[in-house]
Chain A
Amino acid sequence: MKVLVAVKRVIDYNVKIRVKADNTGVETANVKMSMNPFDEIAVEEALRMKEKGLATEVIAFSAGPAQCQETIRTALAMGADRGILVQTDAELQPLAVAKLLKAVVDKEQPGLVIVGKQAIDDDSNQTGQMLAALLGWSQGTFANKLHVADGSAEVKREVDGGLENIKIKLPAVITTDLRLNEPRYASLPNIMKAKKKPIEVLAPDALGVDVAPRIKTLKVEEPPKRKAGIKVKTVAELVDKLRNEAGVI
């Protein structure tokens, strides 16, 4: 079966973001961009399935401006076979991305879609679940372990109190959590090879998807700053402060 993975281009996780002075958003000009870390885990999981003979082809999907090709190239350098970019400069929200993904799924008919559980920019944690809903598929969210066999998948999920095991029918959507795997680095020869792999570029219109945002961002602000407190010298002093000043113990 084919496995489709979705990769999002986000501000690199090491960059300290800056809120724009006019409060319309976060500064992205001249900022290092990378693949969303949870999506790297998604790519890695798909590649491992291919290496085990469980997947025949790994397709990397992205949606957004032309520069998202770089993010797809990263997935191709890791080992994905080909890419699909839905190119648009419009703001894309999770529901719109899920609809674009659905259109691509209808076309490509993968047996499994793997996406990161959330993107580290908007922190929505929605796209995978929404895609599963739109397709009428099962969903294995926050996956810690994935075992695919005989038309179904066993998914170990990260839940509030620990872990949970579910069995889901394929086709399905999986969303990755941190401990699912450790993504590989692309080797130089593979980076070179990736340059020759095909990326198909589509427009949202061609897929018949209306990507108009449903949520309007009114403003983006800095969070309230917490003031640094004091340093104490001894444990006795600390306990005294906690007891008599803060009154928390």
Chain B
Amino acid sequence: MAILVVAAHDGKTVRANVANAVAAASQMGSDVHVLVAGSNAGEAAKSAAALQGVAKVLQAEDAAYGNWLAEDIAPLVVKLAPNYSHIVMAADSVGKNVAPRVAALLDVAQISEAIQVVSPDTFVRPIYAGNAMATVQSGDKIKVVTIRPTNFKAGAGGGSAAVEQIGGTGATGLSSFVGAELSKSERPELTSAKIVVSGGRGLASGENFKMLETLADKLGAGLGASRAAVDAGYVPNDYQVGQTGKVVAPDLYIAIGISGAIQHLAGMKDSKTIVAINKDEEAPIFQVADYGIVGDLFQIVPELTAAVEKK
């Protein structure tokens, strides 16, 4: 049976993590379809059709789908579900909101944040903030799975799947979208950035994060933070890397003034290369860092910023 990937998008293109979800879905079966629901989602549907490994794109047009309200999207997915063995979504704020609602309506369990597909019914997923890995097997007929995008390598693209128009299911009227307050940033998005610069409590103030912004901009990096820095009000919550925030796995992760609490490590320890800058040489972050410098970040960061400039 085919597999349905439910894609979030911005109206023009599907989110980058849809390619990761398609890659994961391809390991569960060969016939991967992508559902692109929206109001005026033609462009996004085309972008899904170009993803490698996609056999068909279903485009559902309905004014109700404009803002990804779970109450309105879930009935559409549920309607399509009987044709599929798996429903797959990226474990981002859309997938986490929608997938469990779909699963419950289908009376099936949901597998959260799979990081590995062992077989079509068996998955590995982190539990206890990544301090243990559980291999779990689903006994349900339809498997609803969210996948952690950083664990599945996106295909190269170049696909040319057909786009099929399907009808919408209308609005339930249970909820409505009022508005968004999105962080404006020229920097790469955290979860897809090749380099991430993150700051922690050691920065001592929100003002001092400017220093990291300069470094991030020099490196073309995304900017993140530990939960401690978010709790202290230095930066907004969408900067948060960790178990309760975002999970990142860039080529280079630079942790500055971050001690390395378990919950932070859970969000970044799959990074290829980790650099830690901390004044406390006993900080747990050094236990996962490839390269560490013990010292005053207020001295080291400007030095580093100057040094990366010189090629």
Contact = CB atoms under 8 A, between A and B. Distances in A.
A232 B275 CA distance: 10
B304 A164 contact: no
A232 B219 CA distance: 20
B66 interface: no
Contact of A229 (B132, B134, B290, B307): B290
Q: How large is the interface on A (under 10, 10 to 19, 20 to 34, 35 or more residues)?
A: 35 or more
A44 to B, nearest CB: 15
B230 to A, nearest CB: 8
B165 interface: no
Interface in B231-285: 231, 236-238, 243-244, 246, 251-252, 262, 269, 272-275, 281
Contacts of A118: 244
Contacts of A139: 70-71, 97, 101, 175
Contacts of B251: 248
A237 to B, nearest CB: 9
Contacts of A236: 307
A163 interface: yes
Contact of A124 (B108, B112, B174, B227): B112
B209 interface: no
B179 A165 contact: yes
Contact of B110 (A94, A178, A219, A233): A94
A162 B291 contact: no
Contact of B135 (A93, A120, A217, A234): A217
Given A166-B176, A166-B178, A158 B93 contact: yes
A95 B93 contact: no
A162 B275 contact: no
Given A126-B112, A216-B139, A223-B132, A137 B174 contact: yes
A235 interface: yes
B269 A226 contact: yes
A56 B97 CA distance: 29
Interface residues of B, number: 87
Contacts, number: 249
Contact of B177 (A128, A138, A161, A166): A166
A107 interface: no
Interface stretch (A71-79, A187-195, A239-247): A239-247
Q: Would you call the interface of chain A mostly helix, strand, loop, or mixed?
A: mixed
B290 to A, nearest CB: 4
B183 A161 contact: yes
Contact of B111 (A142, A165, A215, A239): A215
Given A130-B100, A214-B138, A218-B136, 10 more contacts: A95-B104, A127-B100, A132-B71, A158-B93, A160-B246, A165-B180, A169-B175, A229-B290, A231-B281, A246-B291
27 contacts: A123-B129, A130-B104, A132-B101, A138-B71, A144-B237, A157-B93, A161-B189, A162-B180, A165-B177, A167-B176, A177-B237, A214-B108, A215-B137, A215-B139, A216-B139, A220-B127, A221-B133, A221-B135, A223-B132, A226-B269, A232-B293, A235-B303, A235-B304, A241-B291, A246-B252, A248-B251, A249-B308
Interface of B: 69-71, 74, 92-94, 96-105, 107-113, 122, 126-140, 173-183, 189, 191, 195, 219, 227, 230-231, 236-238, 243-244, 246, 251-252, 262, 269, 272-275, 281, 286-294, 300, 303-304, 307-308
